[in-house]
Amino acid sequence: MSRLIVVSNRTVAPGQTAAGGVATGLAEVVQRNRGVWVGWSGEVGPQREAQEHDAGDYTLLRYDLSEQEHAEFYNGFANGCLWPTLHGRDDLLDCQEGHLQTYDAVNTRVAGLIAKATDAQDRIWVHDYHFLPLAHALRERGHRGPIGLFLHVPFPEPEVYARLPGAKRLLEQLLAYDVIGFQTRRDRRNFARSAREQLGVRRHDTRLDWGEHSVLLEHIPIGIDADNFHRLATGRKANEHASRLQEALRGRRQIIGVDRLDYSKGLLHRVRAYGALLDARPELRRQIEMLQVAPVSRGGVSAYQELREELEQQVAHVNGVHGDIDWTPLRYMNRTLSRSALAGLYRGSAVGFITPLRDGMNLVAKEYVAAQDPEDPGVLVLSRYAGAAEQMDAALIVDPFRAEDCAEGLSRALLMSRDERRERHGELYSDLCRYGVHWWARQFEEALLRIAQSRDADASVEAPDADYAMA
Ligand code: ADQ
């Protein structure tokens, strides 16, 4: 039986367990399959040999990045070119000479490590935009087993994608995968359109045929472990945080936003929308507060440094215009919090205000819903451009580019009757339980298995009968 190999930019550290989110789902899959999990160690510097760790039920294989790889592969092509393009922000493209070559070179190096540690028939599940050419590089090393990619981020409209340096070649390389999983139908459609426009590849239902090779395009939205997160939100530690919060709020109702400090998350627009709410509904002043948690992310990329400065200015502006000696309308924290602290803060907040300008899925929206008290839940105000909006239509869906629309959504959420809140929450929560992170992982795993089985079947049909061959 072939093994399952998972490849993702980040892995858990040796000796640690996954602390939630996607990592939990991946850890469960590699454990169950007694497979191998390959990824970056997080170390930058002179490269050691890749390190293999025995993680009990599976093997962890981690590699370092050199200074140059970190600057040109990670900060450069992956986060300075691919990330903005895939999020429809080609105006922020920062592609420099040599970055694409280093991106290719890292993929080639990682393919070499994988080829050494695995069997040519193993099933390989690759994650995200750091590894678009990996299947191609693995095929060049003779890998024959199924290789799938799950794209955690969106895929943009063809006109935007076409502006990426090396766009056509990357698309060709992507077609070396056997299956590509997307968060939404829109992403899958956009990908198929780019393949048609740039390579003339036609889509047959969910399949693209490229010469002799077929690629399956699957729509498999990622979820969370909702029950588990709900338990966390009602646990002792989360309760302590929720109580501290209630004390600080002194009867005011809280609107919460939690995001990595990233321009795709719409933080500037969100703060502006909150200001618009305070302008439009002066009676809400002192009745509400907003908390925005946004830990710094990718500090090595210039667009992120600028965003941080602009956001700080805007937060100060809203507080300057609307605040009073005994009321700070908007609090802003740059810290990473523990899962239980986060769960407690979600549970203690009347509104989850999650308004990315583009987001593959957005797990915060799902965590906010899972953390709520079903008897007296808060309301999710969600951007129509989060992948999550395709599934979570019982949330209040808003346009993050329109401050008045967001302000209107917030106001509706704050005034919503308890019955309506319970009804909407019930609908959202039952979907979260049905389509959780383990469901997601199983769907992808089964897609890879089906490919492996159909290849085995083809091989047995094609293999000449032994006696006949000898005759
Ligand atoms: P991200 O862009 O990182 O993920 P998201 O889906 O919201 O975005 O996940 C963020 C995770 O980090 C959540 O689990 C959240 O709880 C956690 N987090 C955020 N702020 C935190 C803080 N201050 N302290 C502690 N934890 C914090 C990418 C894509 C998304 C896609 C996911 C999964 O960009 O669109 O949903 O992958 O596929």
27 in helix, strand or coil?
helix
pLDDT range class, residue 352, cuts 50, 70, 90: very high
Query: 180: part of which helix (H) or strand (E)?
Result: strand 179-182
pLDDT, mean of residues 157-178: 97
- Supply the pLDDT for residue 304: 83
Distances (CA, A) of 148 to 123, 155, 167, 209, 432: 8, 16, 20, 16, 24
Distance from residue 390's CA to the centre of ligand 1 (Å): 18
What residue numbers bound the domain in which 19 lies?
4-222+436-454
- CB neighbours of 123 closer than 8 A, spacing ≥ 6? 2, 3, 4, 5, 145, 146, 147, 148, 448, 449, 452
Nearest-CA residue for ligand 1 atom 33 is: 152
Q: How confident is the model at residue 254 (pLDDT cuts 50, 70, 90)?
A: very high
Number of structural domains, the chain?
2
> Would you say the CB of residue 222 lies under 6 angstroms from ligand 1?
yes
Query: Which tens digit of pLDDT belongs to each residue from 128-145?
Result: 999 999 999 999 999 999
**The pLDDT of residue 462:** 54
The per-residue pLDDT for 20 is 65
Specify the ligand 1 atom closest to the Cα of 365: 7
Indicate whether 182 and 208 sit together in one domain.
yes
User: What is the rounded CA–CA span in Å between residue 345 and residue 335?
Assistant: 13
Residue 152 is among the residues annotated as catalytic for this protein: yes
Distance 24 CA to ligand 1 centre (A): 13
Q: Is 4 in the pocket of ligand 1 (CB under 6 A)?
A: no
Q: Tally Cβ neighbours within 10 Å of residue 418.
A: 10
Position 466 scores a pLDDT of 39
Give residue 157's identity as a one-letter amino acid code: E
The reply to whether 141 and 234 lie within a common domain is no
Q: Does ligand 1 come within 6 angstroms of the Cβ of 187?
A: no
For ligand 1, atom 18, name the residue with the nearest CA.
Answer: 259
137 torsion bin: left (phi>0), alpha (psi -120 to 50), beta (else): alpha
- Hey, is 326 helix, strand or coil? coil
Q: How far is the CA of 145 from the centre of ligand 1 (A)?
A: 31
d(CA 403, CA 284): 17
Spell out the residues 6+ positions from residue 200 whose beta carbon is closer than 8 angstroms to its own.
none
In a mutational test of the pocket of ligand 1, which residue from 8, 331, 361 has the highest number of ligand atoms less than 8 Å from its CB?
361
- Ligand 1 centre to CA of 21 (Å) is 8
Task: Report whether residue 334 contacts ligand 1, using a CB cutoff of 6 Å.
Answer: no
Which amino acid does the sequence have at 316?
Answer: A
Nearest CA to ligand 1 atom 20: 259
**Is residue 459 pLDDT above 80, yes or no?**
no
Tell me: do 389 and 415 sit in the same domain.
yes
**Ligand 1 probe mutation, 224, 258, 332, 358, most atoms within 8 A of CB:** 258
* Pair (188, 322) in one structural domain: no
Answer yes or no: do 294 and 212 share one domain: no
Residue 457: other Cβ atoms inside 10 A:
10
Q: Which residues contact 342 (CB under 8 A, 6 or more apart)?
A: 258, 293, 367
pLDDT, residue 90, reads: 87
Whether pLDDT at 240 is above 50: yes
Q: Is a pLDDT exceeding 50 seen at residue 465?
A: no
pTM, to two decimals: 0.94
Residue 396 belongs to a domain? yes
The Cα 48–Cα 64 span in angstroms is 7
**pLDDT tens across 11-66, in order?**
988 888 766 678 877 888 899 889 999 999 999 998 788 999 998 899 999 999 99
Instruction: State which amino acid sits at residue 366.
Output: K
* CATH classification at residue 330: 3.40.50.2000
In-domain check, residue 471: no
CA-to-CA distance for 40 and 173, rounded, in angstroms? 22
Q: What is the pLDDT, as a whole number, of residue 146?
A: 97
Ligand 1: residue of 22, 26, 82, 364 to mutate (most ligand atoms within 8 A of CB) is: 364
Q: Max Cα separation, the chain? A: 96
Instruction: For the chain, give percent helix, strand, coil, nearest 5.
Output: 50, 20, 30
Q: Does one domain contain both 328 and 349?
A: yes
| Helical pair 226-234 and 363-371, crossing angle rounded to 10 deg | 50
- My answer on whether 384 and 324 are in the same domain is yes
Asked, for residue 469, whether it belongs to a domain, the answer is no
Give yes or no: residues 305 and 256 share one domain.
yes
What mean pLDDT comes out for the span 276-282?
96
As to burial, measured by CB atoms within 10 angstroms (0-12 exposed, 13-18 middle, 19+ buried), residue 453 is exposed
Strands 213-219 and 207-210 come out as: antiparallel
In angstroms, rounded to a whole number, what is the distance separating the alpha carbons of residues 19 and 56?
17
d(CA 185, CA 273): 28
In a domain, 82, yes or no: yes
Establish whether residue 293 lines the binding site of ligand 1, counting it when its CB lies within 6 angstroms of any ligand atom.
Answer: yes
Task: Note the pLDDT tens digit of each residue in 184-234.
Answer: 999 999 999 999 999 999 888 899 998 889 999 999 999 999 999 999 999
Residue range 275-290: average pLDDT? 96
pLDDT at 259: 95
E-assigned strands of 15-171? Answer: 36-44, 51-54, 59-65, 123-127, 147-150
Report pLDDT for 2. 82
Q: Indicate the residue type of 86.
A: L
Q: Do 238 and 269 sit in the same domain of this protein?
A: yes
- 418 in helix, strand or coil? helix
Both structure tokens of 257? 């936003």
Task: Give nearest CA residue, ligand 1 atom 37.
Answer: 152
Specify whether the CB–CB gap between 238 and 347 falls below 8 A: yes
- Flag whether 464 is in a domain: no
Q: Measured from the CB, is residue 30 less than 6 Å from ligand 1?
A: no
152 lines ligand 1 (CB under 6 A): yes
Identify which of 24, 382, 419 has the alpha carbon closest to the alpha carbon of residue 232: 24
Residue at 467 is within a domain: no
- The dihedral over CA atoms of 132, 133, 135, 138, expressed in degrees to the nearest 10, equals -140
Higher-pLDDT residue of 204 and 370 is: 370
Q: How far is the CA of 361 from the centre of ligand 1 (A)?
A: 9
Nearest CA to ligand 1 atom 35: 360
Residue 414 has pLDDT above 90, yes or no: yes
Same domain? For 361 and 397 the reply is yes
Catalytic option among 143, 359, 425, 431: 359
Among residues 87, 152, 269, 322, the one annotated as catalytic is 152
Q: Which two tokens stand for residue 445?
A: 């795993």
233 lines ligand 1 (CB under 6 A): no
Write down the mean pLDDT value for the chain: 93
Same domain, 140 and 261: no
Residues 40, 178: one domain? yes
Q: Give the span between the Cα atoms of 379 and 395, in whole angstroms.
A: 7
Confidence band for 369, pLDDT divided at 50, 70 and 90: very high
- Model pLDDT, residue 470: 36
Helices (H), 352-402: 363-371
Q: Is residue 460 part of a domain?
A: no
61 occurs within a structural domain: yes
In angstroms, what is the span from residue 258 Cα to ligand 1's centroid?
9
Checking if the pLDDT of 75 tops 90, the result is yes
| Residue 367 in contact with ligand 1 by CB distance below 6 A | yes
